[in-house]
Structure formats: structure tokens, C-alpha cells
Structure 1
Amino acid sequence: MRKNERVLFRSKNDNGGVVSLGRVGGVLALSRAFGDFQFKKNNFVYHKSIPQEQQVSVEPDVIVHEIDYNKDEFLVLACDGIWDVYSNRNLVQFVRYHLALNIKFDEIVRKLLDRGISCADSNTGAGFDNMTVMLVALNKPNESHEYWYSRIKNRLEREKRIV
């Protein structure tokens, strides 16, 4: 759950949804979910109700972003278990570091998951949730995957020389 959502959620939700330690009911670390019926009124799967009546909603938070191929390199799709152990910045740095070493996405994902699991902390609970992550290359139209890798690697090498 993003910081700005926590305040909105706390102030708008009168359905028993108390956010503590950044979690709904002190348990659930997200505000959107298809399942998690214990956080929804009328626990019936087929019961229709409006999202605003629920502690947790299936209504997505949508952001439209125009891809800029001079800046945008890849997209990270990940569940809350990943974000429990990585900040946005750390995850992007991790991926870019491995791309600079010419490591392909499948191996980077394996390394991300291994590192995430190794961060398991019984005090905070981080690293014990399920972890799913997918990396998507933001190829230019008609750009091969191989060319995308070389373009990104060249960009990272130029940035390294500048720093």
C-alpha cells in the first residue's frame, strides 16, 4: 500500500479497515486484492457489492504512462512479497546492474528471488510472503530483444563513464 493511499484509506474507510504498520488490519500489505475475502463484507464469492464498501477492493489503481524509449528500459510486475524486501530504487538498481553484466532477464529474476528469500526476517515478516516477479523489456517498435539488450548495455556503460 502506497503512503498516500494509507491516509486516504484510513480517512475514507468506515468498514472496519484499520491500517496499522502499513497493513490493513495489521496483516494485509495491499489495498487491492481479488481474494482475501476475510477483508470483504459478505464473504460470498458471487455477492456483488461496490468497491467503496470493502476494506480491500478489486478496483485497480490505474496510471497511464507514455513510454519514452530514451528513459524507460523495462517494466517490473511484482507481488507484495517482492516489495516487502526491495524498495523501487533498489530493485531497479539490481536489475540495471545485472543488465550491465549482460545477464538475461530469466537469470536476473532468479537472482532477485534468491536474494529476496535470503532477506527473510522473522522479526518483520519480510521474505516470508509469496514472491512473484516478471520483467518486461520495453523494446522499441520492431526492435529485436538482442538489440534491446545491447542498447541498454551501451546506455549503462555511458552512464558509468559519466559517473
Structure 2
Amino acid sequence: MQGWRSSMEDVHCTLLKLDDKAWSQWSYFSIFDGHNGLDTARKCAEDFHRYLLKSFNEMLKHGEPIDGPLKSSQLDLILFRKTIKQTYFFMDEQLRKSKTQHDESGAVVITCLIGPEVIYFMNVGDARAILVSKTGQVLLSTHDHKTSDPDEQHRIAEKGGSIWDNRVEGQLAMTRVLGDFSMDKDLVPPDADIKEYTIHDTNNPLGFIVLACDGIWDVMSNKECAKFIVERMSRTQDLCKICDEVLEECLKRGSADNMTIYIIKFL
């Protein structure tokens, strides 16, 4: 939803299968929330999953041969997380190489990888994911990279940067981004945080995942969003309708930003 903004700068990408080979049981969902233009978000939506898959396949070459669909238990999880982080930096390098002279755009991203046994959540910036149980309990949330975060304030100060007007160098409200090459990238790197959750936890049956940009989270807390969706799910199984209702509710609460939301329901 464009909301009250003059243009729509959110782009999303969905792959129910990363490929038809080793990663055929892995699903990919991403929202790229752009700012100062659409170029960075659009290029990330087009290319990031391809770079991620290429990096994953390169990683597999250094391990035991894989025959058939890949399970999380077959992965070197330390190397897997390192590979994910490196791919965000690689994406940023490619954006710099393809940057046009007047392009000052950037983007934040929230990504979810659902494997056979584990779910991975990766974020750069203030787009967020929550994982919710069938009873509406928020089991996991990603951590926003914002100037209000003391750890981010300390990191930026150590790099010689400063924050004023709640913005890095008075310019960006987010402390980690893709693009934004007019900024010192040591201050606002594409350094993803990664969280994981084991799917087969019988104590907390999984209900759904929400991925959304900050236009939603600016006016809804994690608990409010989870409760709102659980209540709507008691009336309808139409997830598109529920997404629309979330966006309409955010408009009523005063959100003026672009808004994009995924609801991924577990069967």
C-alpha cells in the first residue's frame, strides 16, 4: 500500500522454492523498504535471492556431497550464517557498481528463509519479522537497527560518527542499510542480524509469521499485530483480506508511510 506517500518505494519477492535441486524445500520471502528512490529496493528484489542461492551453492562445494533436498541438519550452521552475512555485503557492492550518478536511494530489508527444520530471519534496518504461536504468543522478533538503540549509538560513535535529530549524521533514521552511498558505509553497513527458530517445537505450535516494513510497526506493537491477526483468523482464512485489514487499521492509526506486509501461515 502506497499510503499517503507520493510514491511507492517498497518491493517484495517470494520464492516458494529457492531452486529445484538441493534447496527445493527452502522458501524465501523478502521485503525491501526503499527510501530516496526506488532503485536500490528494486535491484535488491531482483538480484538478492540469486546471489544468496549462488553463495549457498558455493558453500556446499566445501562440504560433503548432497544427494536430494537439503535439510538444516546437513548444514555447517556457523558457515551458513557467515555466508548469509557476506551475501548482504556482496549485494551492497553490486549496488555500488551499478549506481547511476544521481542515485542516492537506499533500502532496508527483512528476509525469512523457511527450511525443513529451521526458520531463519535476517534483517538490515527497521523492517521487522515476528513469529507467532497458534495461541497468539510472540515467540520471536527481529531487532530493529535504529538510532534509538544504545548498542547502535555506541557502534556509530566508535566509528567516528554522530547522531543528531535522531538520524545518523542528521540524515538516516536507520543505522544499517543497503545502498545510501552518500553516507559513510562504516556508519550504516549492510550488516544483517540473523535469528533462527527450530520448527519442531511441540510446546509452542507455530501459527504464522509476519514480515512488515516500519509503516506497520510505527503504529502497531508486536503484541497488537499478533492479537489483531489471530482475532481476524477466527473469522476468515483469507490471508489477503487479513493483510488488507491490517493495512487499513494502520492507516486509521495515523501511519503515513508506504506499507507492505506478509502473513505466512503454518498448516
Shorter-normalised TM range? 0.5 to 0.7
Identity between Structure 1 and Structure 2 (%): 29
1:19-58 correspondence runs (5 A): 24=168, 28-38=172-182, 40-41=183-184, 53-54=186-187, 56-58=188-190
- Report how many aligned residue pairs link the two structures: 120
In structure 2, how many angstroms separate the alpha carbons of the residues matched to 1:11 and 1:4? Answer: 12
Gap change, CA 1:93 and 1:29, over 3 Å in 2: farther
Which structure has more helix as a fraction of its residues?
1
User: Gaps spanning 5+ residues in structure 2: where?
Assistant: 1-125, 127-142
1:135-146 correspondence runs (5 A): 135-138=263-266
Gap change, CA 1:3 and 1:35, over 3 Å in 2: closer
2:195 to 63, 67, 78: 63
- The structure 1 segments of at least 4 consecutive aligned residues displaced by more than 6 Å after TM superposition are none
CA drift at 1:116 = 0.8
Which structure has more strand as a fraction of its residues?
2
TM-score (norm 2): 0.39
The residue identity in structure 2 corresponding to 1:63 is K
In structure 1, how many angstroms separate the alpha carbons of the residues matched to 2:241 and 2:173? Answer: 27
CA drift at 1:82 = 1.1
Deviations 1:66-95 (A, max 9, x none): 123643211111111111011000000001
The residue identity in structure 1 corresponding to 2:212 is A
User: Gaps spanning 5+ residues in structure 1: where?
Assistant: 42-50, 121-126, 139-147, 149-163
Report the aligned-residue RMSD: 2.7
In structure 2, how many angstroms separate the alpha carbons of the residues matched to 1:102 and 1:111? Answer: 12
Partner residue, 1:16: 161
Structure 1 residue 95 and structure 2 residue 229: aligned? yes
The residue identity in structure 2 corresponding to 1:8 is D
TM-score (norm 1): 0.62
In structure 2, how many angstroms separate the alpha carbons of the residues matched to 1:19 and 1:32? Answer: 16
CA drift at 1:36 = 3.7
Partner residue, 1:72: 206
